[in-house]
Structure 1
Amino acid sequence: MVTNFLQKYQLQNHQLILPKKQFITYALYALVALAFLHYLLFYPALASGKSVVVAQVQEEVAAVVSARVDAPEQLLPLPPPPSPNQGDKALGNRQGRALGFPEEVPAPPPCDYSDGEWAPEARPPLYNGTSCGTIKDGQNCMAHGRPDTGYLYWRWRPRGCDLPAFSPEAFLRWLRNKHLAFVGDSLARNQAESLLCLLASRSPPELAYRDGEENRFRRFVFREFNATVSVFWSPFLVKVAEKAEHAGVRHNNVFLDAFDERWMSQLGALDVAVLSVGHWFLIPGVYHDGGRVVACHDCADLNHTETDFFGVFRDAIHRTLAEVTRRHSDGAGKKKVVALTTFSPAHFEGDWDKTGACPKKRPYRAGEKGLGYTESEMRKTVVEAVRSGADAAGAGSGLRFAALDVTALANLRPDGHPGPYMNKDPFGGGGAGDRRVQNDCVHWCMPGPVDTFNEILLQTVLR
């Protein structure tokens, strides 16, 4: 079409044979044709939506030509072609690149997920209490008979940006030939099992390894993607001799100058390590450093210097990140992401073993529930440690530290805990009344708010 146009209407001595208005009109037709040809050749990823795009281009052509007739002295630019990932907006730009779209597509700026509100969501979760086989029994609220289901239909909405819905396909493609590990306490395990259930909605995981009581050490593989997800129990990240109430030992002995080699020795094989600790530091503990006891927490029965747990928590986090950096620099230098999930608040409103310990049935509204001092300090410690760790590692190290800042969004979800439904049919078919029954107001129902932690994790690894 362009060749015929030039043969029929040649330029002579840089002057147009045609009247200026008519030439520009024909030129516009030629430019539209070129733009459309360029779109078909260079954006095949959207071929499935071709008919819609063709209709849109035709409408835009008509609008441009009409505008040209009305304004003959003004050359209007053609509309830009759609971006390569426009057909999959739910994935976001970062996920679009991860799925093989062109690198030149600009990524959106980092999103602050710590500030926002919970909004109603009609879309059901990706899994339920029976479709996923890796839910810990105590967090399977649906299977245990929780009668209300409203806690399932909320979505975290950051104020200044968008948090895309979780895409199992995008995560698994990114995780292909990689190894991701969750390291920490039972909330780390809660988040790990949430991710396994989310991914299982696309590809079933296989249990490849299991060791320790309560599934403390496990490894799952997604054969289709050659992807691995592991769970390491390490409630302090550093070395610990755990308390044993049955043996009369009610304090954890924490060794701040030694590391938990059960997970740290595997660091070189990991592509992503998600660290999540906090609640165990609130438990009575004796702290060792340099071969001696330096302090303890909640230890009136012992002849040691009493201290709060904030300083010990800070020390353990900073030492761990420094050791991760040291071992990374001593190794092969493969790219690695180390993400730290910030403190996840509990919501006890009464005795842990009495009905109504966490009775809420909906999220708090924005501004209705502020962070307590403990939650604020624990969160701040992680955020600051990530910042200083990133500075120490350096931009060219291939090691990236990131904070999964979930404290605020978790604080607003008092309705998302198992409560009495940590056990099946806790009331035996009768009313709750004033009965004594165990309650879990710390961990999260699955599905539930913990799935949002992994929505943020997905955006973090794709960044």
Structure 2
Amino acid sequence: MGASSIFSAALIFSLLCQIGGRVVSQGTIKHVNSAGSGSGCDLFLGEWVYDKSYPLYNSVECPFIWKEFDCQKNGRPDNEYLNYRWQPTSCKLPTLDGKSFLEKFRGKRILFVGDSLSINQWQSLTCLLHKSVPQANYTSNRVGSVSTFKFPAYDVSIVLSRNAFLVDIVHESSGRVLMLDSIQNGSYWRTFNVLVFNTWHWWLHTGRKQPWEEVRYGVNNVHQDIDRMMAYEKALKTWAGWVDSSVDPGKTKVFFQGVSPDHMSPREWGDDAKSGNCFGQRAPVMGAQYPGGSHPAQVVLENVLRTMSKPVHLLNITTLSQLRKDGHPSVYGFGGHRNMDCTHWCLPGVPDSWNQILFAALFHS
């Protein structure tokens, strides 16, 4: 099948937006245009608009929300950032109907695999679903690196597996070794109906935050350190090989969460200030274009996806998230004023839109 089997979630939803549409090819990624008009429906192309009906839930209505994402409870003084809705240019993004989600997904399991940005999206989805069925019982537990949120009445499980690199870290006498060509967790992953993968932010950590002392790939390639973008690409290729050899598309649908950006440089969003970050930002970047351009890690990711033979649906959330410089906890997250968090997202917030797109991809194809 090759590269032509790669679809973004937006393109799946295009089939709903453009009745009678036809598939045309642009490069190696399929696009869907309406017959005769030449215009398509891309959920990832649009802008943030102010909407007083937002947010989709209140953090008070989500009693299990983690402290580091609950910016209002942590004292954030402004709330305008809660009232922005993602508006695609050529169609309307459907509201995530939590009850419909649970009914259609009855008896199934979804697994988020990745770093703390996967936690952000997992938490968002559990809050959205709980808001839709507030009287329904739920259970939440954690065993090791796996957290399971379940609605027993629907037999639906929303599971999180913390795995920042997707590939393995093994403990040896020499210390912790990052194995760029090894994935041992795959036998567990493929038991789920839906997989949502993510990795990026931990690849740049050094010093005490670096969770390995050695990098290894192949037979004789052992390094104390290598170029991090090259390591990221090698790991993605290992993951892609696992998907192509191990996943049955008839049983498991695979998504990859695009690279979630941070906002540590104001010049990236068009501010001429020589220093600064996301602190004090109260509005999105207006319009559909991000001045800082494409994220380099996203470019690497898309290149790897183009090489795959099995279908992987890209949740291409990078640009729409780049526009939300106001959506981070800043000092209203974990650690308060001692730490500046311009990487994760307040909840309610940006990850809710990621999950609306996931909902569209799952149920409107």
Cα deviations across residues 276-308 of structure 1 (Å, max 9, x unaligned)? 1100111236421135444454xxxxxxxx42x
Gaps of 5+ in 1: 1-91, 97-104, 243-248, 298-305, 394-399, 427-435
Match of 1:338 among 254, 257, 261: 254
RMSD: 2.9
Cα deviations across residues 28-59 of structure 1 (Å, max 9, x unaligned)? xxxxxxxxxxxxxxxxxxxxxxxxxxxxxxxx
State the alpha-carbon separation in 1 of the partners of residues 332 and 155 from structure 2: 36
Residue in structure 1 matched with residue 143 of structure 2 by the alignment: 211
State the alpha-carbon separation in 1 of the partners of residues 161 and 350 from structure 2: 22
Residue in structure 1 matched with residue 55 of structure 2 by the alignment: 125
Residue in structure 1 matched with residue 162 of structure 2 by the alignment: 233
Match of 1:445 among 346, 354, 361: 346
Aligned pairs for 1:155-234 (under 5 A) are: 155-203=85-133, 204=136, 206-207=138-139, 209-212=141-144, 216-234=145-163
Q: What letter corresponds to residue 321 of structure 1 in structure 2? A: A
Measured after TM superposition, the shift of residue 181 of structure 1 is 0.4
Structure 2 residue 312 is matched with structure 1 residue 401:
yes
What fraction of aligned residue pairs are identical, expressed as a percent?
Answer: 28
Cα deviations across residues 336-376 of structure 1 (Å, max 9, x unaligned)? 211001111111259xxx9975221100112674235xx62
Structure 2 residue 286 is matched with structure 1 residue 359:
no
8 Å contact from structure 1 (residues 168, 198) kept in 2: yes
Structure possessing the higher radius of gyration over alpha carbons? 1
State the alpha-carbon separation in 2 of the partners of residues 171 and 161 from structure 1: 21
State the alpha-carbon separation in 1 of the partners of residues 356 and 347 from structure 2: 14
State the alpha-carbon separation in 1 of the partners of residues 278 and 128 from structure 2: 29
State the alpha-carbon separation in 1 of the partners of residues 196 and 300 from structure 2: 16
8 Å contact from structure 1 (residues 113, 405) kept in 2: no
Cα deviations across residues 107-130 of structure 1 (Å, max 9, x unaligned)? 895842332111111113232221
Structure 2 residue 178 is matched with structure 1 residue 254:
yes
State the alpha-carbon separation in 2 of the partners of residues 95 and 200 from structure 1: 27
Q: What letter corresponds to residue 274 of structure 1 in structure 2? A: V
Kindly tell me the number of residue pairs found equivalent between the two proteins. 316
Corresponding residue SS for 2:338: coil
Structure 2 residue 302 is matched with structure 1 residue 418:
no
State the alpha-carbon separation in 1 of the partners of residues 265 and 93 from structure 2: 30
Residue in structure 2 matched with residue 455 of structure 1 by the alignment: 356
State the alpha-carbon separation in 2 of the partners of residues 406 and 135 from structure 1: 22
Structure 2 residue 300 is matched with structure 1 residue 381:
yes
Match of 1:312 among 203, 212, 231: 231
State the alpha-carbon separation in 2 of the partners of residues 260 and 419 from structure 1: 35
State the alpha-carbon separation in 1 of the partners of residues 76 and 128 from structure 2: 21
TM-score under structure 2 length normalisation: 0.78
Structure 2 residue 183 is matched with structure 1 residue 282:
no
Q: What letter corresponds to residue 346 of structure 1 in structure 2? A: D
8 Å contact from structure 2 (residues 111, 195) kept in 1: yes
8 Å contact from structure 1 (residues 217, 232) kept in 2: yes
Q: Structure 1 residues 273, 423: closer, same or farther in 2, change over 3 A?
A: closer
Q: Which has the higher contact order (CA 8 A, sep 6+)?
A: 2
Q: Structure 1 residues 114, 334: closer, same or farther in 2, change over 3 A?
A: closer
8 Å contact from structure 1 (residues 111, 162) kept in 2: no
Residue in structure 2 matched with residue 68 of structure 1 by the alignment: none
